[in-house]
Structure 1
Amino acid sequence: MKHAICVIGYGSSGVLQETINHLDSPNIDFYIHWDKKYPLPKLQSKFSKIFLLKNRVNVHWGTYTQIQAELNLLKAVKDSNYDYVHLISSTDIPLMTLSYFENFFKKDFYIGFQHPLGPNVYKRLSYYYPIDKLNISNKSWLIKIIKVINILFGVDRLKNQKERIKKGPQWFSIKGKYINRILSFDTSIFKNGRLQQLIEFFGQVTKEDLEWRFPPQTFPGTPV
């Protein structure tokens, strides 16, 4: 089976190189989006093909730019007929052997996670935050001001939203044939949202209708 491992990365590439070394295989290719604020990493492999995306995004934590980076990766792999597509970060490292990884995905799996959606989390998407181009990691004062303005004007962007909203990490392993379905999803509701849960919302909403075929599962105990 052929695998595409999509990587969202930035900064140092040392951990990513170790991941490539560990999963180096003719059956596994790596597609890498490297934050535009950083120089492209120098990566190498013996067997895996490595593709560095040219259409890079200047990623700001907790904004739509993170979703855009993910979409760019999925667009890069969608026409290559991979059996499975995996999304990881450049600081993730596998806790299983290469043979275990390849054998595990000979079965049909959709691997994802889901968390309860509380009222505070709901507001992070329902409020309007015009911050997609801003670095807000150290600007909690700005977030508080925007939140107050939303409350005063009774803003609720989800009021007429038909899609069921769920929360879960953006990282996943999914059958390659479903990538086009994710890419066809209207992502406009996720623009001008806030904080980490924004990309978690995106991951769950776009992949929710796949759960009927592949219920979310986690890895069983894996050998090191």
Structure 2
Amino acid sequence: MKQALLITAYRDFNHLIDIIQFFDNDEFECYIHIDKKYFPDEAIVKKIRSLPSVKLLSNHYTVNWGGRNHLRSCLLLVEEALKNTECVYFHLISGQDFPVKGLTYFKSFASSNRKDYITHYKMPYKNWIHGGMNRVEYYNFYDVFDAKKNGQWIQRLLTWQQQIGFKRKLSNKVPPLYAGDTWWSLTKETLQYVIDYTQKKPYLLSRMKHTFCAEEMYFQTIIMNSPYAQNVVNDNLRYIDWTSGRSGSPAHPDVLDNSDLDKLKSSSALFGRKFQSPVSDELKGNLKKGEV
């Protein structure tokens, strides 16, 4: 009974290798997409490809923060992992995550649990600005401009649309929208449904072009409008700290350090994020020591 780790990454490749090596076991497979802008040098690539659990290492997409290509890279990983019929659970994580539980726990989790873990909220969602509808009702040009370098142009174009009263229409081909966190742990059956939907009803993926953070809506919208909605637990089993202010930005989660160890260990989370060298090195070492 195998599990697949679907990993999207763009930095800190030694940490990525640590994640892969943690799951160096016959019951785990790793499928990795690295942003084309940041694909590592040949020595790192060779090291990653040499690890037994790595079944795919791709740099197919250039991924800008907030852009649709992150969703497309996630779908690529899902499609590739589903080709292995032995995988029953699939965990989407970033290259800045790290497992909180040990391998024994992961194995027990998959053998005794058939629920789908993904956070979801009906849109418009009260805790998001404009209920999150500005993500889909206006053109958000994150795939055109790199927000890290030219974020002001994205915001100016968004503001201009709002000032002139322009809104993108939502076709009746778009089901009721749901949103939530990017990261999830889902069963094979549910993910196969998502891929089948994508192939049979491509309009939704097309409509996600020039939205903001499409990967935070796409999976939730398809799953929560499907027969598999009744199998969903509104919890993605991730420990993410948005509250301490260490990141310096409300748009980004805090980088975890050793002061978070007890909170991580006492949580129900499978993974924590985000980890970043050297800040998180001591924490990561202590999690490895406590591996069960």
Give the TM bin, normalised by the shorter chain: 0.7 to 0.9
Q: Alignment identity in percent?
A: 22
Report the Cα distance in structure 2 between the residues aligned to 1:148 and 1:125, rounded to whole angstroms.
Answer: 14
1:204 aligns with 2:220: yes
SS, match of residue 53 in structure 1 = strand
What SS is found at the alignment partner of 1:84? strand
**Which residue is equivalent to 1:14?**
14
| CA-CA distance at 1:15 after TM superposition | 1.7
Q: TM-score, normalised by structure 1?
A: 0.86
Superposed counterparts of 1:1-224, under 5 Å: 1-40=1-40, 41=45, 42-43=47-48, 48-54=52-58, 56-81=60-85, 82-106=87-111, 107-115=113-121, 117-118=125-126, 119-151=130-162, 152-158=164-170, 160=172, 162-183=174-195, 184-185=197-198, 186=202, 187-194=205-212, 196=213, 198-208=214-224, 209=226, 210-217=228-235, 219=237, 221=268
Structure 1 residue 160 displacement after superposition: 4.2
8 Å CA contact retained: 1:109, 1:217: no
Call closer, same or farther: CA 1:218–1:75 in 2, change over 3 Å: closer
Partner of 2:272: none
User: Quick one: higher RCO (CA 8 Å, sep 6+), 1 or 2?
Assistant: 1
Task: Give me the whole-angstrom Cα distance separating, in 2, the residues matched to 1:55 and 1:221.
Answer: 32
Write out per-residue CA displacement over residues 77-133 of structure 1, whole angstroms, 9 at most, x where no aligned residue. 122111111111011100011001110111212111135714252112211234423
1:142 is displaced (CA, Å) by: 1.3
Per-residue deviation, residues 38-58 of structure 1 (Å, max 9, x unmatched): 234332677x42023346111
Listed as ranges, the gaps of 5+ residues in structure 2 are 238-266, 270-289
- Between structures 1 and 2, the one with greater strand share: 2
Structure 1 position 61, deviation (Å): 0.8
Task: Mark the CA change 1:44 to 1:160 in structure 2 (over 3 Å): closer, same or farther.
Answer: closer
Scaled by the length of structure 2, what TM-score is found? 0.68
Shift of the 39–180 alpha-carbon distance from structure 1 to 2, 3 Å rule, reads same
Matched residue count: 221
Alpha-carbon shift at residue 157 of structure 1 (Å): 3.0
Structure 1 segments unaligned to the other structure (5+ residues):
none
Matched to 1:21, the amino acid is: Q
Moved more, 79-88 or 161-170: 161-170
RMSD: 2.4
Q: Secondary structure at the match of 1:157?
A: coil
> Contact conserved, 2:119 with 2:180, CA < 8 A, in 1?
yes
